Amino acid sequence: MRQDEKYMRRCLDLAILGASTVSPNPMVGAVIVHNGTILGEGYTSPYGGPHAEVNAVTNAVASFGEEAAKRLFKNATIYVSLEPCAHYGKTPPCAEMLIALQFKEVVIGCLDPFAKVNGLGWQKLKDAGIDTRIGVLEGECKFVNRRFFTRIKEQRPYVILKWAQTADGYFGAADNTQQWISNKASTQLVHKWRGEEDAILVGTATALIDNPALTTRLWTGKNPKRILIDKALAVPDTAALLNDDAETIVFNALKTDWQSHKKLIALENFDLYLIQNILYQLYLMDVQSLLVEGGANTIQQFLDANVWDEARVFESEKTWGDGKTAPRIQHPAQQNIRVGSDQLYTYFNNG
């Protein structure tokens, strides 16, 4: 079992290398092992490309040659963090490839909840006479793909709330002026996070007060889709988040108008189940994860609707004595680390 966990952890290390490029697919890692030696390994290519199992096989063939690799596969175990697919999508079924190559054993981290897989890949392997085991580091495998699992099961993106607050619990200045709370290291970390998620959202007040660009300019990575909640279309076209650095979707109550990088979407009964309606619209657009950066009222709407999965809260050493009170989560943080002079608390919504 320890050996199984060792190789499955390697699968997870590989899987996260696909962060920001594989969505709406899951992040998957695969490792091929023969008599304690790793023959090949791989992770899911950017969306539309080969899956982890195919890349692991290709890696082994490149190292040993096609004929030698195929002979070795017949006495090898392939570890994969998520159940091999069983259907034709943008690529052929990985389960059928593993059967054709006659792998001796397949060890799976967790099942794939997608309806066209969901146990079918596992069943195909078993029906072909391949030894299969499932559930190695199952919880960790599910956690890595919590975005994918949420989209499939809840029909909405995985929602991450993010804000910074002072040591005495204030979110913003009382006079609405822009005031920095977190340090430069925390700011750079946020830019890294932006590149890992499909979309990032703010409300009208944040767009007007802070004029954020919502890009990854302090980190190397893709810019996420930018989502703006702007009921009356009060944010001017000159705002930084409406430039052509990334696509921006503006949910409003007035009009629908699709342009190259700016898309206005009017919602009927705007104030009725606003957050749920926005999340469903994003789900239909294949948005798998959403980072909510503010402001306080927007974040509170997600908390009040209880449609959030994770909250990342920076607490600085600064004290203001006055200001706008930060949102509050009623249970203790599950993680707590230092980022320079700031403290980063992470909460998970378990119900």
Q: What would the two tokens of residue 228 be?
A: 């703006």
CA angle 254, 259, 263 (to 5 degrees): 45
The order of strands in the sheet holding 131-134 is: 37-43, 29-34, 77-82, 105-110, 131-134
Q: Are 37 and 166 in contact (CB under 8 A)?
A: no
Residues whose CB falls within 8 Å of the CB of residue 275, separated by 6 or more in sequence, listed in order: 301, 302, 305, 307
Quote the distance between the C-alpha of residue 143 and its chain's center. Answer: 10
Antiparallel, parallel or unpaired: β 289-294 and 170-172: unpaired
What gap in Å lies between CA 19 and CA 291, rounded to an integer?
14
Integer-rounded Cα Rg, in Å, for the chain is: 23
Helix (H) or strand (E) holding 141: helix 138-144
Q: Are 200 and 206 in contact (CB under 8 A)?
A: no
User: Annotated catalytic, 53?
Assistant: yes
Active-site residue (options: 53, 83, 96, 197) = 53
Q: Are 321 and 347 in contact (CB under 8 A)?
A: no
Helices (H) and strands (E) in the chain, counts: 11, 17
What gap in Å lies between CA 109 and CA 9, rounded to an integer?
10
Q: Which residues carry out catalysis?
A: 53
